[in-house]
């Protein structure tokens, strides 16, 4: 007797044959595709990927420059401090810090308002002594009252700050030169010192140009050089000039009471004349 299973295996149906044919085609195609992809896979696995090149980050931008120190405009300070309108101090000739600006404005405001007590504390001992003598004799107020305008200019020279004041009384003009130092925080002045600089005779006729303070110092240096020469080498004209100088204290010093009108020259008995010849002559 024949096994039914053997009959089905020996005589496949058309459907079975069709599925087997498709399977053989699929197997052959898959094998071919696998053989084609194998070299690519092998080649990819056989080579190591190149290490990424490290790129240095760009350098940081340079820091911005520090901001310039800010100062309060002179016009604003004059209004806040109640400075006399006789005072003239242009921005381009003003000190570079607020404490210096405040100190200079308040110092010369004392001259403009004939108030010696407003300036005495800022002076050195020699200038303060002369101021006291003038105040006691009434000379300070007499010298300052006629002044209608005070033009100020400041500069730094060899590490020192200077302020030059040009006093105007009618058609008369006189000048002072002071070395000064002022420190503090903000608009507050913590320390200050004003020392009068040597004033040669008729200094305003000897200086000119845009750097009056520098010219003033040059005149003083030249006079000092002549004064140090032996008597036999001094020219006659220089001798005459020395004889014409008014008597003053501290004349041999770099700074002192001499030449800072209306204080540097010793006041005559009964005070000093009104500044018809300029304050301090």
Give DSSP secondary structure letters for 61-119.
Answer: PPPPPPPPPP---HHHHHHHHT--TTEE--GGGS-SSHHHHHHHHHHHHHHHTT-GGGT
Contact indicator for 264, 248 with CB cutoff of 8 Å: yes
Give the Cα separation of 213 and 194 in Å (integer).
Answer: 16
pLDDT score of 50: 74
Give the Cα separation of 153 and 124 in Å (integer).
Answer: 21
Average pLDDT over residues 192-216: 93
The CA angle 101-105-110, to the nearest 5 degrees, is 150
- Is the model more confident about 63 or about 51? 63
Residue in this structure with the two tokens 């003033």, named with its chain if needed: 216
Give the Cα separation of 216 and 206 in Å (integer).
Answer: 8
Average pLDDT over residues 270-278: 39
pLDDT score of 189: 97
Most confident of 11-25, 46-60, 245-259: 46-60
pLDDT in tens, 118-152: 999 999 999 999 999 999 999 999 999 999 999 99
pTM for this entry: 0.62
- Name the helix (H) or strand (E) containing 243: helix 236-244
Residues 6 or more apart in contact with residue 173 via CB below 8 angstroms = 166, 167, 204, 278
């Amino acid at each position: 007797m024949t096994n039914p299973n053997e009959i089905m295996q020996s005589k496949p149906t058309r459907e079975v044959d069709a599925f087997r044919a498709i399977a053989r085609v699929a197997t052959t195609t898959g094998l071919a595709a696998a053989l084609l992809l194998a070299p690519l896979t092998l080649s990819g696995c056989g080579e190591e990927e190149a290490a990424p090149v490290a790129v240095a980050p760009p350098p940081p931008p340079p820091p911005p420059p520090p901001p310039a120190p800010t100062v309060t405009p002179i016009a604003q300070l004059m209004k806040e401090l109640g400075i006399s309108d006789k005072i003239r101090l242009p921005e381009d000739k003003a000190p570079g810090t607020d404490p210096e600006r405040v100190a200079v404005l308040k110092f010369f405001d004392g001259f403009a308002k004939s108030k010696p007590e407003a300036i005495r504390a800022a002076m050195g001992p020699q200038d303060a002594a002369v101021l006291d003598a003038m105040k006691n004799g009434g000379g300070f107020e007499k010298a300052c009252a006629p002044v209608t305008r005070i033009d100020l200019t400041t500069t730094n020279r060899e590490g020192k700050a200077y302020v030059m004041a040009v006093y105007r009384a009618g058609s008369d003009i006189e000048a002072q030169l002071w070395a000064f130092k002022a420190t503090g925080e903000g608009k507050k002045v913590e320390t200050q010192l004003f020392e009068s600089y040597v004033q040669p005779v008729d200094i305003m006729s000897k200086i000119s140009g845009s750097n009056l303070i520098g010219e003033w110092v040059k005149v003083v240096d030249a006079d000092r050089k002549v004064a140090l020469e032996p008597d036999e080498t001094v020219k006659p004209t220089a001798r005459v000039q020395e004889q014409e100088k008014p008597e003053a204290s501290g004349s041999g010093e770099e700074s002192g009471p001499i030449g800072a009108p209306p204080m540097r020259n010793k006041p005559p008995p009964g005070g000093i004349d009104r500044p018809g010849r300029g304050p301090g002559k």
